[in-house]
Amino acid sequence: MLSNIGIPGLILILVIALIVFGPNKLPEIGRAFGRTLTEFKSAAKNLTQDDDEEKKSTPALVNSEEKVKKLS
DSSP states along 26-56? HHHHHHHHHHHHHHHHHHHHHHHHHHHHHHH
Domain limits of the chain? Answer: 24-72
67 or 18: whose pLDDT is higher?
18
Q: What is the pLDDT of residues 43-58, one digit of tens each?
A: 888 888 876 666 666 6
Look at the chain and count its residues. Answer: 72
The answer to whether residues 21 and 29 touch, using CB atoms and an 8 Å cutoff, is yes
The answer to whether residues 17 and 26 touch, using CB atoms and an 8 Å cutoff, is yes
The answer to whether residues 26 and 18 touch, using CB atoms and an 8 Å cutoff, is yes
Residue type, 36: T
Model confidence at 69, in pLDDT bands (50, 70, 90)? low
Q: What is the pLDDT of residues 7-35, one digit of tens each?
A: 899 899 889 988 998 888 988 988 999 99
The answer to whether residues 55 and 62 touch, using CB atoms and an 8 Å cutoff, is yes
